[in-house]
């Protein structure tokens, strides 16, 4: 891992998580998205599924505060954030 960090393949802040329960913390992040995908009862096309899941992830990131420049009550910024992800003109 140190060799990959020195080459620049991995970032310096990248950490190895050898403990199993730490991986569960990472998987919990996808729980809400998995629930929404299962509830959708399938998609008609790959591209429709791709865009829909990207939308789920974008809204989830906004709710969690991962999009630092988008606040919870800033509707216009949320619209621009989502439009930027999907290359949609507003």
Give pLDDT tens digits for 75-89: 788 778 778 777 776
The reply to whether 49 falls in a domain is yes
The reply to whether 9 falls in a domain is no
Tell me what percent of the residues of the chain surpass a pLDDT of 70: 86
Give SS3 for 58: helix
Q: Where are the alpha helices (DSSP H) in the chain?
A: 2-7, 20-28, 31-39, 46-64, 75-86
User: Domain limits at 54?
Assistant: 28-86
The reply to whether 16 falls in a domain is no
Q: What is the mean pLDDT of residues 19-29?
A: 68
The reply to whether 2 falls in a domain is no
Query: In the prediction, which pLDDT does 35 show?
Result: 77
The reply to whether 35 falls in a domain is yes
- Please count the structural domains in the chain: 1
């Amino acid at each position: 891992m140190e060799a990959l960090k020195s080459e620049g393949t991995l970032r310096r802040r990248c950490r190895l998580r050898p403990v199993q329960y730490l991986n569960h913390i990472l998987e919990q992040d996808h729980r809400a998205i998995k629930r929404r995908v299962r509830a959708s009862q399938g998609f008609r096309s790959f591209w429709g599924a791709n865009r829909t899941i990207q939308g789920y992830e974008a809204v989830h990131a906004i709710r969690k505060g991962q999009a630092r420049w988008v606040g919870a009550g800033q509707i216009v910024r949320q619209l621009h954030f989502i439009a930027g992800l999907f290359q949609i003109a507003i």
